Amino acid sequence: MSSRIIKYLLKRGIIIFLTVVAAVYITIWIANMGGYVDEIVRGELYLSISQSIRQNPAYRHFNETQIKKLIDSLYTNELERIGFNKPFIYRSFIYLRDALSLNLGRALWISSDSGSRNVRIIILERLPNTVLLFTTTQLILFFIGLFAGLFLSRKYGSIADRLSVLLAPLSSLPGWFYGIFLILIFASFFRILPYGGMVDVPPPEDTWSYALSVLKHMILPVMSWLIAYLFINIYVRRTFFLIFSSEDYVELAKAKGLPESIIQRRYILRPTLPPIITDFSLTLIGSWMGAIITERVFNWPGIGSLFYLASVMFDTPILVGLVVIYAYLLAITVFVLELVYAAVDPRIRVGGR
């Protein structure tokens, strides 16, 4: 039995890893526009070399052909040094190896606030901002959704339940859209909350007022996501619990006269726990990618706006870095979940169908 589990997990692990490899390789091709970014880089390189040569007084007595020759030879050397003399298809595999070993390299154009071109530093500088905003929001959404859903599934048909059904279509509008309205109301009309950004300009000196300022800037984005996604969350959870609470074994427990709290905990919550945990971990991982449009609307300096900036500037190393980190986190989560379920849940029959 256990050797079968190990064999199964090994097989899943390999498949998940290969999926990550393929996804990262595809990203490398897309982010490089099939090699087009190379030409931009080559052009920039040639320009900067020829400028530095032409402005160097040491070469002033050179004539045009000599200068041209010098530039060309320096350019070829430099290409060789950074490995750009090889065709893109060859280098794409080097990129793949670097990405998979998390050797993220240097950004092409974007630099961090501290002035570094190191991709890892750039990403790590943005990550806390995104985690602060979106992970907080997702946690609030998740737990309110869970408990309100559980509560409403018991009060099926009550006014509160009907209200949750009525309000669920509000979620057909995305968070950033509500964001625009909230900015209009609270920033533009009442002028009590900031339009966007993460902290006042200039940032307050002491830690307390800094934290307070950040908190003030978080209100509108968090609120916009709560309005957009809270009701659908509650609705989905409520329906989910409703379906589970009409299972036969729950009816049986009720018939046996077990107290409500035990039915709740043992007969409804426990069997529904695996999908809830899956949801929870996937939303958590997803929240680390930020939200491109919400971050743009609120001018929030997180991973989402970094993603946008890197996409429009073709800063390939950053794009590949972000995707590879996300892919790894996702893969690890999925794998760990499979591991846990294989060990814990007797209903998940490993290997067979």
Partner 1 sequence: MLSRMKKFFRQLFFYKSAAIGLGIILILIGISIYTIFALPYDEATRLWRAGEKQWLDNPRNAMPSWLNIFSSKKMPETIILDTNRSQPGASKSIIQVTEKFSKLRIEFSFDYEYDDFPSEMNLFFLSNFTFSSPILTIYWVKPDGKEIVLKTFLISKEDRYYISNDDKLSNELKTYISRKINRTIEYDAPITLLLFAQEDTSILDPNTAKVMKGNYRLWIDGTIFESAVDLNAKLVVYGKVYGLAGTDHLRRDLTIALLWGTPIALSFGVVASVSIALIQMFIGAVCAWFLGGVDTIIQRITEIFMVLPFLPILIMISTFYKFNIWVLLLVVIALTIFGGGVKNYRAMFLQIKEFPYVEAARAYGAENIRIIVYYLIPKVLPTIIPSMVLSVADFVFLEAAMAILGLGDPLAPTWGKIIDDAYTNGALYKGLYYWVLEPSALLAATSLSFAILGFALDKIFNPRLKEM
Q: Does residue 197 interact with partner 1 by CB under 8 A? A: no
User: Using the rule CB under 8 A, which residue among 12, 117, 120, 296 binds partner 1?
Assistant: 296
With a CB cutoff of 8 Å and minimum separation 6, the contacts of 335 are 9, 12, 13, 16
Q: x-or-dash pattern for partner 1, window 238-267, by CB under 8 A? A: -x--xx------------------------
Where does this chain touch partner 1 (CB under 8 A) — which range of 67-75, 82-90, 147-155, 309-317? 309-317
Least distance from C-beta 72 to partner 1, angstroms? 29
Q: Does residue 82 interact with partner 1 by CB under 8 A? A: no
Tokens of 202: 């200039």
One DSSP character per residue, 311-346 reads HHHT-HHHHHHHHHHHHHHHHHHHHHHHHHHHHH-T
Where does this chain touch partner 1 (CB under 8 A) — which range of 73-81, 119-127, 136-144, 187-195? 187-195
CA dist., res. 45 & res. 310, Å (int):
19
62 or 195, CB closer to partner 1? 195
Size of the site for partner 1 (CB under 8 A): 54
Under 8 Å between Cβ of 229 and 171: yes
CA dist., res. 229 & res. 168, Å (int):
9
71 or 175, CB closer to partner 1? 175
Under 8 Å between Cβ of 220 and 177: no
Q: Does residue 327 interact with partner 1 by CB under 8 A? A: yes
CA dist., res. 337 & res. 12, Å (int):
12
Q: Does residue 162 interact with partner 1 by CB under 8 A? A: yes
Q: Does residue 139 interact with partner 1 by CB under 8 A? A: no
Q: Does residue 168 interact with partner 1 by CB under 8 A? A: yes
User: Using the rule CB under 8 A, which residue among 95, 142, 176, 229 binds partner 1?
Assistant: 176
User: Using the rule CB under 8 A, which residue among 27, 137, 153, 213 binds partner 1?
Assistant: 27
Nearest partner of 271 among 298, 294, 250, 301, judged by Cα:
250
Tokens of 213: 């300022």
Q: Does residue 102 interact with partner 1 by CB under 8 A? A: no
CA dist., res. 233 & res. 137, Å (int):
13
Where does this chain touch partner 1 (CB under 8 A) — which range of 2-10, 134-142, 160-168, 219-227? 160-168
User: Using the rule CB under 8 A, which residue among 174, 197, 204, 274 binds partner 1?
Assistant: 174
CA dist., res. 35 & res. 87, Å (int):
9
CA dist., res. 227 & res. 99, Å (int):
38
Residues 266-295 that bind partner 1 (CB under 8 A): 289, 292-293
Q: Does residue 41 interact with partner 1 by CB under 8 A? A: no
Tokens of 198: 């993460």
Q: Does residue 19 interact with partner 1 by CB under 8 A? A: yes
Q: Does residue 229 interact with partner 1 by CB under 8 A? A: no
One DSSP character per residue, 160-225 reads HHHHHHHHGGGGGS-HHHHHHHHIIIIIIIS--S-SS-SS-SSPPSSHHHHHHHHHHHHHHHHHHH
Under 8 Å between Cβ of 349 and 148: no
267 or 307, CB closer to partner 1? 307
User: Using the rule CB under 8 A, which residue among 51, 85, 188, 209 binds partner 1?
Assistant: 188
135 or 294, CB closer to partner 1? 294
Tokens of 280: 């929870």
Binding residues vs partner 1 (CB under 8 A) = 15-16, 18-20, 22-23, 26-27, 30-31, 33, 36, 157, 162, 165-166, 168-174, 176-177, 180-181, 183-184, 187-189, 195, 239, 242-243, 289, 292-293, 296-297, 307-308, 311-312, 314, 319, 322-323, 326-327, 330-331
